[in-house]
Amino acid sequence: MDGPRVALVTGAAQGLGLAISRRLRAQGYDVLMGDVNADGVTDAAAELGGTGLVMDVTDDASVASAFDALHGRALDVLVNNAGLISRQPAQEFDSAQWEREMAVNLGGTMRCSRAAYPHLRQASSPSVVNLASVGSTFGLPQRLGYSTAKSGILGLTRTLAAEWGPDGIRVNAVAPGYIETQMMLSGFASGALDRDRLLDRTPLGRFGTSEEVAAAVAFLVSDDASFVTGTVLKVDGGITIDGSFHARVPSDSEVVSN
Ligand SMILES: NC(=O)c1ccc[n+]([C@@H]2O[C@H](COP(=O)([O-])OP(=O)(O)OC[C@H]3O[C@@H](n4cnc5c(N)ncnc54)[C@H](O)[C@@H]3O)[C@@H](O)[C@H]2O)c1
């Protein structure tokens, strides 16, 4: 009998990576949980019954040793979730921080995908999911590094999907909107995000949950998505398609026809 499917999730110590790991674990996957936060990922893996891996996605040797934990086994799913954001004016953007945001958000996705390839090839229906963002669609003021890197994720996703499709490897992205995590709360705390304005222009009128993002990842890696590759699945309550530009939509009784 075949063994359980195997997934590796980066940035799995907290937030979306933890929720994605929990979801895949609940579906019976062996989950390898990678994070640069050693204590966090060790505790999280112990809680979920996964395998914690201390890994820095910006470092080739660290990524290589994390994939060594597979001991040459097949990898069914790679989720490139590790991410980093900073907020500062574009005209003052710190060069070292720029390099860091490219290295984690974009370089980490490339590095882990590259290391995963020989393992993915051994699986029967392998796939990769990359975490994009509203920053892949919007120009996000004060988040030049993040927005640029997350836009790059779309090109990386399409290119890998085209190049690895003949190997049977599907590559897709999930683009979360505003989700109740530390990353969003830090935006409220710094004043970079306004809760009411965000809710006002979100057609579904609420923030998302980590579980809703995890569910989208679970769909994309499942056999239900067996002909889906190179795409971006937005999980954003409609915020990136809203074109109303009204403070609010008038009710039917307020609409005057002439
Ligand atoms: N939270 C949101 O609303 C939201 C929206 C859109 C996109 N995203 C994306 O989803 C992903 C997860 O977001 P989150 O809100 O859970 O973030 P988070 O900050 O809560 O978690 C990110 C995790 O990545 C890890 N990490 C950072 N640098 C790393 C490195 N070099 N190597 C390995 N691990 C590293 C951190 O230790 C942390 O555990 C990110 O890629 C983020 O850009 C989040």
Structure tokens at 91: 């005209």
Cα(44)–Cα(20) distance, integer angstroms: 12
Given the CA of residue 15, which atom of ligand 1 is nearest to it? 16
CB-ligand 1 contact for 17 (6 Å cutoff): yes
**Of 9, 22, 35, 78, which is best to mutate to test ligand 1, by the most ligand atoms within 8 angstroms of its C-beta?**
35
Distance (Å) from CA 127 to ligand 1 centroid:
20
CB-ligand 1 contact for 62 (6 Å cutoff): no
Given the CA of residue 105, which atom of ligand 1 is nearest to it? 41
CB-ligand 1 contact for 79 (6 Å cutoff): no
Distance (Å) from CA 84 to ligand 1 centroid:
6
HSE-CB at 210 with a 13 A cutoff on CA atoms is 17
Residue 247 lies in a domain: no
What are the pLDDT tens digits along the chain (258 aa)? 478 999 999 999 999 999 999 999 999 999 999 999 999 999 999 999 999 999 999 999 999 999 999 999 999 999 999 999 999 999 999 999 999 999 999 999 999 999 999 999 999 999 999 999 999 999 999 999 999 999 999 999 999 999 999 999 999 999 999 998 887 888 888 888 899 999 999 999 999 999 999 999 999 999 999 999 999 999 999 999 998 876 665 666 666 655
CB-ligand 1 contact for 130 (6 Å cutoff): no
Angle at 29 between CA 25 and CA 31, to 5 degrees: 70
pLDDT score recorded for residue 1? 44
Residue 251 lies in a domain: no
Residue 212 lies in a domain: yes
CB-ligand 1 contact for 218 (6 Å cutoff): no
Cα(112)–Cα(188) distance, integer angstroms: 31
CB-ligand 1 contact for 217 (6 Å cutoff): no
Between helix 210-221 and helix 15-26 the angle, nearest 10°, is 50
Residue 172 lies in a domain: yes
Provide the whole-model pTM.
Answer: 0.95
Q: What's the per-residue H, E or C state across 110-129?
A: HHHHHHHHHHHCCCCCCEEE
Residue 59 lies in a domain: yes
Instruction: Report the chain's C-alpha Rg in angstroms.
Output: 19
Q: Return phi, psi of residue 131, to 5°.
A: -90, 110
Q: Return phi, psi of residue 24, to 5°.
A: -70, -35
Q: Which residues are known catalytic residues? A: 146
Q: Pick the residue whose CA is nearest to atom 20 on ligand 1.
A: 15
Residue 88 lies in a domain: yes
List the domain range (segments joined by +) for residue 94: 6-239
Tell me how many domains the chain contains.
1
CB-ligand 1 contact for 56 (6 Å cutoff): yes
Q: Pick the residue whose CA is nearest to atom 23 on ligand 1.
A: 11
Cα(243)–Cα(239) distance, integer angstroms: 9
| Residue 216's CATH number | 3.40.50.720
Reported as type and span, the H/E element at residue 218 is: helix 210-221
Residue 245 lies in a domain: no
Residue 47 lies in a domain: yes
